[in-house]
Chains A and B, each alone.
Chain A
Amino acid sequence: MSRFVFATAEYVSGDWESAPALPENLIDSVARYTSIDVAPVGVNVKLSSPELFDHPFVWMTGHLPVRFTDAERRNVKRYVERGGFLMIDDHNHDVTGQFHKTVTEEIERTFGKMTRLPNAHELYRCFFVFENPPPNTHHELNGYGDDLLHRYLDAVLVNGRIGLLYSNKDYSSEWNFHAETKKFMTQDPTKFGVNLIVYALTR
């Protein structure tokens, strides 16, 4: 089994690099809680490149409007349909924001309407168990962005498996901190990130 390498999606439009500390943080969490053989450093992978298919889990985020190129759209469609897991998180945590509007339009153009992921889904219990999923972020609880608590995540399912997960919860802000800071926290907020990776690698 080859080593898991955390991949950040790089796309032509928007600010794909808006959460620079997140890859390091999730790599740290995977090592901290699991025995998964994880590479100590993440990679950036272009959505239009064939290297996308080297990574079973790809993180995508941003604040700015997202418009896929035809090559990106084609590649993402193939990636998701062939067993990849693309996590897209709205760094604005704002349903009226441009990232949300444009990226959901792109997803629906590529895959059709997304499915609301039931909160009893195994994603929320495949490693850590979350009683009231999906886990909330401080940005939601403190009333930033759209001032909403998003109760569900949306997904593109391929043969019953999540191929694309879309979140308005702004995990990109929540997890964008230096991994060393975890020791000062009573609850590690990145545990859901571990579930995402475990699900992508085992389901």
Chain B
Amino acid sequence: MTPLDRVRRAQHWLAATVLVTALLWALALAMAVVIVAIAANLIAPLAPLLRAAIAPTAIGAGLLSAGTVLWRGRRARSLGHVALWVEERQPQLRYALVAAVDPRFSVAELSSELVESASGADVERLVDRSVRRALGRALMSCAVAGGVLALLGPRDLLRAAATDFALRTRSPAGAPMASRLTPLRAEVLPPRYSRLTEQTLVEPTTVSALIGSGVVFKGIGPASGVTLAVGTDVRPAAEGTGGWSGALVMPKDPAVVTLRDRQYQRLVVLAPRVDSAPNVILRLPAHDTTYQTVPRGLLTVEAGATDDIGLAYGYFEYLVSTGSEESFQTAASESRREEFNNARSATLHATINLDTMKLVPGSVLHIRAVAFDYNDVTGPGKGISETRTLRIAEKPDSTSITAAPPLPIDSMWISQRLLNMKTDTLIRAERKLVREEFAHRSSGYSNAQEDIRRRVLAVVALLEDNGVGGSFFTDESKLLRQAADLMWSAREDLGVAQPDSAMPYMKQALKILDDARMAYRYYLRGILRPVVVNIERVRLQGKDSTATAPLLPRAVPRDVRAALAARIDAAARLYQTAPEAAMDSLTYARVAALTAVPGVAAALDTALTQLRRGAAIDSALARTRRLLEPPARVIAGPPDWQAGGVER
């Protein structure tokens, strides 16, 4: 290969390298501009004007860097310059290579020494090293910029930037027949209390934001003739900077905004997000408690509160009630308010001085925690914890008080119980005793039974005495009279030395005495003793006339899922002939589903996105339809297959 051929080959390599390097540096610089824009946008949202400038700046930076590289590599255009470039790096050639590639001389005219010297130039190694170094730097820069960009996720900003650019560059006058609803941008301004940043949505199909957020739709062209409608509320668009704009407030319920421009129409779903009320959990005291004595000293209370946006303040509520039935007093108080300064979770502490609560036996102290958020649009959201109830036992309320002296019924019950035990022993000892001894003992027990019976009747007389000469039955006296009757039967059997016949009466009498004793002695707070009504005695004895209203069937509740499924099926059929109208129907169906069946609303959103990308209607709606299917029912099927059929 002659020196000329070798230099020509080097020239081709160097020229190609310059071109490729220029492209790579242009790309790297453009990406660097976008990275800077994203970083700036993260620090403070960029103004629309700055967003619109991102693309031109990036392209300009790319072109500038490409031009610089091309200018610096311009020597690759001629063979002489390439030879000189080699000579610069290999001075020992002493211009032999330059002379060898000089087009004014043929190889034959050159001296053999010069040709030999020029042939000794290491052109390939030089070119190889230079190409590697130039391409390596450019590729490295590209890779770094690309990696950073991938991490930052530029898609949203670039879409917004493209729309802003289009809004500022497209001439309104130049598109008289085009829709002014595309491109479309929605700027969401969350309520001030939420302290969330402004958000820009490009070509939105759904705007999801907190209730009360401002939503501003912006498009290109004059405002005249552009309207925004939510239900029956239709409002015209206003002139804005670089196009029209229309402002709405995010409603409480899902709705559809219909944007209209002459024959063009565009639907955007407004999906309100509810600011949840704070969630409050009372940690201390952990359980309801009953104190046997009035508690004194300090009681620590603690609660945890969380909120989806930010907590404002919280406090504890105390409510003390003392007394019962219709004579009681209540006193409500609150702990000091604790500020949470927009924290998402916080702990509420307080100490109650029980000495100041004026607690007495029978008092009930209710404690609960309350927390508020900053919501000044639909709130403030108020979260309330579970209530802890601390009771202070009242004497009649408690079974743990010192036992009262035995009442007459108590002593009778004890006597009857002893007599039952003795009689039982006598029955078991019958075979060991002679008949006279057995009869004598039984007779003695008969007298004892009579003694108890008389005491019972004395109590009955006491209970039924109303103090003015008359008498009336009480629940206890009725029971005691039954017991006395049974004791009479027992006494008779014991008197004729038949204690085994007397025993059932004695056991029953003991049980009734026990019931009477319990009914007479205790009134336990928190227990409602059931009273048996004699149904058969009063059945249909009422004299008041009735006029029963006819029993009409209640309306069957509307099946939201079935109605939604029908709407979606109708939209799917319509899609074959009028896809735009079908998409609108599906959008409205999605709004209806947002409150009724949120899962279906999400599936419909996905389906709408797929349809816009050109997916088939059936595959796009498959998941939605599955979600709307009624739950599977197990029905009785044919019995298991059994052998015995006729084989043919």
Contacts and interface: CB of A to CB of B under 8 A. Distances in A.
Interface residues of A, number: 55
Interface stretch (A37-45, A49-57, A111-119, A148-156): A37-45
B544 A128 contact: yes
B321 A98 contact: yes
Interface centre among B330, B533, B542, B551 (most CB of A within 10 A): B533
A20 B539 contact: no
A23 interface: yes
Contact of A23 (B330, B525, B531, B546): B531
A40 B535 contact: yes
A98 to B, nearest CB: 5
Contact of B529 (A20, A28, A128): A20
Interface stretch (B79-87, B117-125, B150-158, B381-389): B381-389
B387 A68 contact: yes
Interface in B359-392: 364, 366, 368, 384, 386-387, 389
Contacts of A129: 546-547, 549
B554 A98 contact: no
B282 to A, nearest CB: 10
A35 B540 contact: yes
Interface in B510-558: 525-535, 538-542, 544, 546-549, 551, 554-555, 557
Contacts of B402: none
Nearest to A93: B326
What size tier do the contact residues of chain B reach?
Answer: 35 or more
Nearest to B534: A40
A72 to B, nearest CB: 9
A21 B542 contact: no
Contact of A13 (B389, B529, B532, B535): B389
Nearest to A191: B544
A125 interface: yes
B319 interface: yes
B533 A12 contact: no
B542 A17 contact: no
Contacts of B548: 126-127, 198
Interface in A27-67: 27-29, 31-35, 38, 40-44, 63-65, 67
B324 interface: yes
Given A32-B540, A125-B547, A20 B528 contact: yes
Task: Classify the interface of chain A: helix, strand, loop or mixed.
Answer: loop
A29 to B, nearest CB: 7
Contacts, number: 123
Interface in A153-203: 159-161, 179, 187-188, 191, 198, 202-203
B105 interface: no
Contacts of B253: none
B319 A65 contact: yes
A40 B547 contact: no
Nearest to B556: A159
Contacts of A69: 386-387
Nearest to B368: A67
Contact of B527 (A17, A33, A109, A188): A17
B325 interface: yes
A21 B526 contact: no
Interface of A: 8, 10, 12-18, 20-21, 23-24, 27-29, 31-35, 38, 40-44, 63-65, 67-70, 91-92, 98, 102, 109, 122, 125-129, 159-161, 179, 187-188, 191, 198, 202-203
Interface of B: 288, 319, 321, 324-326, 328, 330, 364, 366, 368, 384, 386-387, 389, 525-535, 538-542, 544, 546-549, 551, 554-555, 557
